[in-house]
Copies of this chain bind each other. A is one copy, B any other.
């Protein structure tokens, strides 16, 4: 069993890359992502350098983070390459352009972020991109995403789980 399963199941999102204005965009799936710093609004995610989205992120230095319930779409964008197919047309992805950045946002997102790349750290065939969050939207209540039970968690391969609806409070 791979080491990284110690950190799964974990939230899986769809990353949008490229430029809407230049008509050069792509989407891929990612669960190796985390908040990094509150004050400077930094998040980070891991990206394989062989990805078509890697090229677009290098070129435009921006990306979006989209939380979507649809595990079939996640699987499809995560196992195909934008180098060979137009994922937007192929999978019928409806999107709009970000409010702060010229990036694609998936319409049916439960929540999303618009980010500018601020740093890239390389480990072999992987780059870890740090991004500054320029805008974020979502259907929140006092405890984060309101319909959190729709947030897919990646387990392994084609297996996903969802958070249970019941909230438990620490006795602290």
Stretch at the interface among A16-24, A38-46, A53-61: A38-46
Q: Which of A111-125 contact B (CB under 8 A)?
A: 111-113, 119, 121, 123-125
The answer to whether A36 touches B6 (Cβ under 8 A) is no
Q: Does A92 contact B (CB under 8 A)?
A: no
Q: How many copies does the complex hold?
A: 2
Count A-side interface residues using an 8 Å CB cutoff.
76
- Residues 1-37 of A, flagged 1 when their CB comes within 8 A of B and 0 if not, give 1111111111101000000000000000000111111
With beta carbons under 8 angstroms apart, the residue of B5, B74, B121, B167 that contacts A130 is: B121
Given contacts A5-B138, A37-B123, 12 further A-B contacts (CB under 8 A): A3-B41, A3-B113, A5-B111, A5-B145, A7-B35, A9-B148, A34-B44, A71-B170, A159-B167, A159-B168, A160-B170, A164-B164
